[in-house]
Amino acid sequence: MATVLTNTGKAQMIAASNTLLATPYVGWGTGAGTAAATDTTLFTEVSAERAASTQSIVTTTVANDTLRNICTLTSVSGATITNGGLFSASSSGNLWVKGDFTGVVLAAGDKIQFTIDIKQT
């Protein structure tokens, strides 16, 4: 028997995630490491610099298969940013998505725009 997640199922799962993650926030960190599915925090999160994300359901492969979050963070005091993540709250909250990358050196007032996609494939 073949088992597949249907296109309608993908769209409904994304719609449910959109409801569950009603007020998403993006944060960033300065620590080193490799993101893992078991992570619950960022690597050395820069405190007090999370910001609300603009969330929408978009089509990347099939109709409504992706939950897209876009957020621009502004550095308060300069740092080298090495990771970012999507959270369910402005402080604490659950970490939904985490990514690590080569450090981006920021001065106070510099910005990074994050686009975080959760896609049903």
Where do the domains of the chain lie?
7-119
| 78-105 per-position pLDDT tens digit | 999 999 999 999 998 999 999 999 999 9
C-alpha 115/C-alpha 55 separation (Å) is 10
C-alpha 120/C-alpha 117 separation (Å) is 10
Q: Cα separations (Å) of 24 from 3, 16, 50, 74?
A: 32, 14, 10, 17
| 3-61 per-position pLDDT tens digit | 999 999 999 999 999 999 999 999 999 999 999 999 999 999 998 889 999 999 999 99
Least Cα distance to 57 among 49, 68, 46 occurs for 68
